[in-house]
């Protein structure tokens, strides 16, 4: 079997710390809740799916509820299905169908089943009431550090309405005292990468260390002029990042990503203005790092400035963009691909990460021009296509183009070459992104290449690079070497 | 009368029910999809005064509201049911009961709506919708929502508008290709870029005979691009990325792979506007050339 498939196979043996949690759970039935506080990459979800399988084997009538951010549902379902456990993702439409199918002799939430709901859907009043009308055996809360306000309320209500319910709260950063949720007694299982050994007794920190390369590129005169025009637009729109989500910084980031990302943003804003809508809201694709799969709602800001002046600037910028003959950043990437000898007879799995969907599609077209057919992973994909893409890449290797947000929850330890085409706008996004790649199961060293524009001042970029270097040098609290 | 559709559960088991529902959902425009995702049915108690109920309806922008007691729906209070009651209300009754129309309780002004199920096709409730201006979804004991003609209108617009825009896009793309090359050139360019798909000499000779993806292949082919650059502007990679985005959205839509998001709608609309602009510019250039 292909090595990369083996790494993704959900039937691979559990590591000692993973097996220990499962054994502990079944050996201590009086413990109502566990905080599973493991560093990113140590296999919390992987352990939980095995625990669920064992629970259903020992208690076929167990009723299991998994609450997670919406974006992670399909991954959890896929992992469960890989080990032969069927799970049902329930959204509003599916919930109505379940309601419709209820007969006088049946319940809406069946015993012996695993239900996957987004935490934000579960907390809605009618759904919460319905969930609390049956007895649950196990509640799993993924990304439990996000439990706040009403999200906490649904967990509290479930714990109160199902006296025999046991809970697993998964988090890499820790959560508040679970007794506030009514979960007592509880235990915390905390695991750091430095403590973890694999099934053969080897420390996972003995994995190959990653290497950071910075690929600097210079903008030409026409690109600089375009940047100046974008800066003018940003000035009109408001450049203060903290100022109620004004779109100025968004356009600067789009321009830094790719001409396609900038064009998509400019056209959308121009269309809105042309139709009399003097407001701006970032689409999921423009939210960059947090976009695509984020559960955050859309933020709308009323546009400042004179719409006529703005329209003129947008048109001028679009014309300059149209005349742009060179993309120095893309040229740098193509040079890198040439050096990495992609494609090669035995492809070393490579992943190129961007913050924006428009950039991803642009890179896809550019790679196809080079004769490379990449895999593409972004938010607006059907669950099936997404799962097929992840599996296809794991099985066949090659080049994967992905948005930062679409990688959330995925294990990419088979990737040897990681290219950060865009640096995340938010430095705190760097480590979560890298832990997708630098995690348990890695056999070959990761080479990380960052594309960086050559310029005099780059405060933000320097902070990001420092984060990267610190992470790659030594991170004791994540699943990395 | 709405036909009662019951799911056959005997012998299917829970998995069977789920599969059957999935299948039905994939094939038809079900009421489940017509109902807004965020709709939460608002009900009022039978003892609420008409004045309060009307104020509540005005506040929420509703013209009708189910009346329920103990979780069971008794009927619907609506502008129409109130108007009918008020019209029947004589001066004699007002004097006798010492009560103005606004003091009536909604229980006195009920009308009965038909019930539909989420798994029904939307067309099955057209008559009921026409008759009552609304349909209740679920059952009196388990109200799931209320459907109005506006819900239908919004749903149909959402479903239909991308198809309309994509047909405009496809026709514009054909027109732009024809502006860029004549028939002989088209055949040469198509042979160059599509022979790998159809086989040498087997490439269709007309744009009507090939697919949207084929248009994309013809335009973005490295040797063909110089012919299209003046028409599409920008550069090959960016144009290819836009056509790829359109092609993906078209595939998702035409093959019902997923529901398009608001952002997808905006993307299609933006790309349609881009192509229309390029068509207008090409037309203007041609007119200028053709002027004596």
pLDDT at B5: 31
Convert the pLDDT of each residue in A289-345 to its tens digit: 433 333 333 445 556 667 778 888 898 999 899 888 889 999 999 988 887 655 544
Domain-embedded: residue B24: yes
Residue A460 confidence class, pLDDT cut points 50, 70, 90 = low
Q: What's the confidence (pLDDT) of residue A472?
A: 66
Picking from B111, B131, B147, the residue at the C-terminal end of a domain is B147
Residues forming a β-bridge with A217: A453
Chain B residues within an 8 Å CB radius of A362: 237-238, 241
Give the list of residues 6+ apart from residue A408 with CB closer than 8 angstroms, or none: A69, A71, A72, A293, A432, A436
Mean pLDDT of all residues in A235-244: 60
Beta-carbon separation of B144 and A125 below 8 A: no
- Give A380-393 pLDDT, tens digit per residue: 777 778 888 988 89
| Interchain contact, B40 vs A126, CB within 8 Å | yes
Q: What is the rounded average pLDDT of the residues A451-465?
A: 71
The residues, ordered by sequence, that sit 6+ positions from A64 with a Cβ below 8 Å of its Cβ are A52, A55, A56, A113, A114, A115, A136, A137, A138, A139, A140
Can you tell me the mean pLDDT for A273-290? 58
| pLDDT for res A7 | 40
Contact B238 A113 (CB under 8 A): no
- Spell out which residues of chain B touch residue A226, defining contact as CB-CB under 8 Å: none
Interchain CB distance below 8 Å, A99 and B142: yes
Q: Which residue of B has its CA nearest to A326?
A: B235
What would the CATH number be for the domain defined by A204-218+327-473?
3.40.50.300
- Same-domain status, B79 and B199: no
Q: Which of B7, B233, B266 sits opposite A283 (nearest CB)?
A: B266
Instruction: Answer yes or no: do B180 and B247 share one domain.
Output: yes
State the nearest Cα–Cα gap between A268 and chain B, in angstroms: 6
Question: What confidence score (pLDDT) does residue A281 get?
Answer: 59
Q: Which residues of B touch A388 (CB under 8 A)?
A: none
Largest CA distance in chain B: 93
Looking at the domain assignment, is residue B6 inside a domain? no
Q: State which residue of chain B sits closest to A361, comparing Cα positions.
A: B241
CB-nearest partner of B269 from A110, A271, A284: A271
Provide the pLDDT for residue A48.
95
Put simply, the answer to whether A283 touches B35 (Cβ < 8 Å) is no
Q: Which chain B residue is nearest to residue A370, measuring alpha carbons?
A: B222
Q: Give the whole-angstrom CA distance, residue A443 versus residue B117.
A: 54
Minimal Cβ distance to A97: which of B118, B145, B234: B118
pLDDT given at position A162: 94
Q: Which domain holds residue B198?
A: 153-290
User: What domain count does chain B have?
Assistant: 2
Return the DSSP state at B28: S
Closest CB from B14, B32, B261 relative to A96 = B32
B7 occurs within a structural domain? no
Which two structure tokens, joined as six digits, stand for B227?
């012919």
B244 and A260 within 8 Å at the Cβ level: the answer is no
Where chain B has pLDDT below 50, the residues are 1-26
Q: For testing the chain A interface, which of B238, B251, B264, B266 should be mutated: the one with the most A CBs within 10 Å?
A: B238
| Residue pairs between chains A and B whose CB atoms are closer than 8 Å | 107
* Nearest CB partner across the interface for B9, out of A93, A96, A103: A103
Q: Are residues B134 and B157 in the same domain?
A: no
Mean pLDDT of A25-39: 91
E strands present in A245-381 = 279-281, 300-302, 350-354, 375-377
Check A92 against B38: CB less than 8 A apart. yes
pLDDT, greater one: A273 or A198: A273
The whole-angstrom distance between A96's CA and the closest CA on chain B is 7
Q: What is the domain partition of chain A in residue ranges? A: 3-195, 204-218+327-473, 221-323
Residue contact A369–B222, C-beta within 8 A? yes
pLDDT (0 to 100) of residue A461: 65
Q: What residues of chain A have any CB closer than 8 angstroms to a CB in chain B?
A: 86, 88, 92-93, 96-97, 99-103, 110, 113, 124-126, 259-260, 263-264, 267-268, 271, 283-285, 321-322, 324-325, 327, 330, 358, 361-362, 364-366, 368-369, 380-382, 384-385
| pLDDT on residue A456 | 56
From A92, A260, A271, residue closest to B241, measured CB to CB: A260
List Cα–Cα distances, A221 to A13, A224, A324, A332, A449, in angstroms.
Answer: 56, 5, 10, 16, 25
Q: Are A181 and A203 in contact (CB under 8 A)?
A: no
Indicate whether B163 and B244 sit together in one domain.
yes
> Are B261 and A381 inside 8 Å of each other by CB?
no
Q: Report ipTM for this prediction.
A: 0.71
**Do B157 and B142 sit in the same domain of this protein?**
no
Whether B164 and B240 map to the same domain: the answer is: yes
Tens of pLDDT, residue by residue over A397-433, are 889 999 988 888 788 888 989 999 998 777 777 777 8
Please provide the average confidence, as pLDDT, over all residues in chain A: 81
CATH of A3-195, picked from 3.30.450.90, 3.50.50.60, 3.40.50.10810, 3.40.1190.20, is: 3.40.50.10810
Question: What pLDDT score was predicted for residue A283?
Answer: 54
pLDDT at residue B73, as a whole number: 96
CA distance A438 to chain B (A): 31
Q: Within a domain: residue B285?
A: yes
* Cβ(B144)–Cβ(B138) below 8 Å: yes
Nearest to B222 by CA among B236, B204, B242, B202: B236
Matching fold, domains A3-195 and A204-218+327-473:
yes
Tokens for B197? 């798909």
Closest CA to A389 of A405, A370, A374: A374
Residue with tokens 């005064």: B49
Task: Report pLDDT for B145.
Answer: 93
**Burial of residue B13, with CB atoms counted within 10 A of its CB: 0-12 exposed, 13-18 middle, 19 or more buried:** exposed
Task: Test A322 with B234 for CB contact under 8 angstroms.
Answer: yes
Residue of B nearest to A331 (CA): B237
Are A125 and B21 inside 8 Å of each other by CB? no
> Could you tell me if B138 and B157 lie in one domain?
no
Query: Hey, are the CB atoms on A101 and B37 less than 8 Å from each other?
Result: no
- Residue A22, classed as helix, strand or coil, is helix
Whole-number pLDDT of residue A453: 87
B130 with B249, same domain: the answer is: no
* C-beta atoms of B235 and A324 within 8 A: yes
Average pLDDT over residues A205-215: 78
Contacts of B238 in chain A (CB under 8 A): 259-260, 263, 362, 365
What's residue A121's pLDDT?
93
My answer on whether B173 and B213 are in the same domain is: yes
Nearest in space to B19 (alpha carbons), one of A52, A383, A82, A97: A97
Residue range A133-155: average pLDDT? Answer: 88
Q: How confident is the model at residue A97 (pLDDT cuts 50, 70, 90)?
A: very high
Whether A17 and A42 have beta carbons less than 8 Å apart is answered as yes
């Amino acid at each position: 079997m292909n090595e990369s498939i083996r790494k993704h196979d959900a039937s691979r043996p559990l590591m000692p710390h993973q097996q220990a949690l499962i054994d502990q759970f079944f050996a201590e039935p009086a413990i109502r809740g566990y905080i599973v506080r493991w560093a990113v990459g140590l296999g919390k979800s992987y352990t939980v799916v095995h625990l669920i399988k064992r629970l259903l084997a020992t208690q076929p009538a167990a009723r299991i509820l998994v609450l997670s951010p919406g974006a992670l549902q399909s991954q959890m379902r896929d992992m469960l299905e890989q080990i032969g456990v069927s799970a049902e993702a329930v959204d509003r439409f599916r919930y109505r169908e379940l309601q419709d199918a209820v007969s006088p002799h049946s319940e809406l939430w069946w015993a012996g089943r695993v239900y996957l709901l987004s935490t934000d859907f579960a907390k809605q009043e009618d759904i919460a009431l319905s969930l609390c009308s049956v007895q649950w055996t196990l509640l799993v809360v993924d990304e439990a550090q996000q439990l706040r306000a009403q999200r906490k309320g649904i967990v509290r209500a479930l714990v109160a309405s199902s006296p025999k319910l046991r809970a697993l709260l998964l988090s890499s950063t820790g959560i508040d005292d679970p007794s506030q949720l009514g979960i007592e007694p509880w235990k915390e299982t905390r695991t750091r990468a430095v403590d973890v050994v694999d099934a053969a007794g080897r420390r996972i920190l003995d994995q190959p260390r990653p290497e950071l390369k910075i690929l600097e590129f210079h903008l030409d005169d026409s690109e600089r002029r375009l940047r100046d025009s974008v800066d003018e637009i940003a000035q009109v729109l408001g450049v203060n990042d903290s100022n109620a989500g004004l779109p100025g910084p968004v356009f600067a980031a789009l321009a830094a990503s790719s001409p396609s990302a900038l064009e998509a943003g400019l056209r959308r804003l121009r269309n809105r203005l042309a139709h009399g809508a003097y407001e701006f809201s970032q689409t999921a694709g423009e939210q960059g790092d947090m976009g695509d799969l984020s559960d955050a709602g859309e933020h709308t800001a009323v546009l400042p400035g004179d719409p006529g002046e703005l329209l003129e600037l947008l048109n001028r910028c679009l014309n300059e963009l149209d005349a742009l003959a060179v993309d120095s950043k893309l040229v740098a990437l193509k040079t890198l691909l040439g050096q990495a000898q992609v494609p090669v007879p035995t492809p070393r799995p490579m992943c190129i990460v961007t913050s924006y969907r428009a950039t991803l599609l642009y890179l896809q077209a550019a790679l196809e021009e080079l004769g490379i057919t990449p895999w593409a992973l972004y938010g607006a994909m059907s669950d099936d296509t997404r799962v097929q893409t992840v599996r296809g890449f794991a099985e066949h290797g090659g080049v994967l183009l992905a948005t930062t947000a679409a990688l959330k929850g995925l294990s990419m330890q088979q990737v040897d070459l990681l290219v950060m085409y865009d640096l995340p706008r938010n430095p705190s996004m760097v480590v979560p992104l890298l832990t997708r790649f630098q995690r348990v199961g890695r056999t070959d060293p990761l080479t990380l290449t960052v594309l960086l524009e050559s310029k005099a001042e780059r405060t933000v970029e320097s902070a990001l690079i420092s984060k990267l270097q610190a992470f790659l040098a030594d991170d004791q609290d994540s699943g990395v070497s | 009368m709405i036909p009662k559709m019951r799911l056959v559960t005997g012998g299917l088991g829970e998995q069977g029910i789920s599969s059957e529902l999935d299948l039905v959902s994939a094939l038809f425009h079900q009421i489940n999809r017509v109902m807004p995702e965020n709709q939460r049915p608002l009900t009022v108690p039978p003892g609420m005064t008409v004045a309060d109920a009307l104020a509540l309806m005005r506040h929420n922008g509703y013209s009708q509201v189910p009346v329920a007691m103990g979780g069971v729906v008794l009927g619907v209070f609506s502008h129409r049911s109130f108007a009918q009651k008020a019209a029947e209300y004589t001066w004699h009754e007002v004097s006798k009961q010492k009560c103005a129309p606004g003091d009536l309780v909604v229980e006195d002004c009920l009308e009965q709506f038909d019930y539909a199920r989420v798994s029904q096709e939307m067309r099955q409730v057209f008559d009921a919708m026409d008759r009552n201006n609304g349909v209740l979804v679920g059952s009196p004991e388990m109200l799931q929502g209320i459907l109005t003609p506006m819900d239908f209108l919004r749903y149909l617009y959402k479903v239909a508008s991308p198809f309309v825009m994509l047909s405009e896009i496809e026709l514009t793309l054909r027109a732009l290709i024809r502006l860029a090359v004549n028939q002989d050139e088209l055949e040469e360019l198509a042979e160059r870029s599509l022979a790998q798909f159809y086989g040498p000499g087997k490439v269709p000779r007309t744009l009507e005979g090939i697919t949207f993806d084929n248009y994309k292949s013809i335009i973005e082919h490295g040797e063909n691009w110089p012919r299209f650059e003046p028409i599409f502007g920008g550069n090959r990679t960016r144009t290819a990325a836009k056509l790829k985005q359109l092609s993906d959205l078209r595939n998702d839509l035409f093959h019902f792979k997923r529901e398009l998001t608001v952002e997808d709608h905006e993307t299609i609309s933006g790309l349609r506007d881009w192509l229309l602009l390029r068509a207008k510019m090409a037309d203007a250039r041609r007119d200028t050339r053709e002027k004596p």
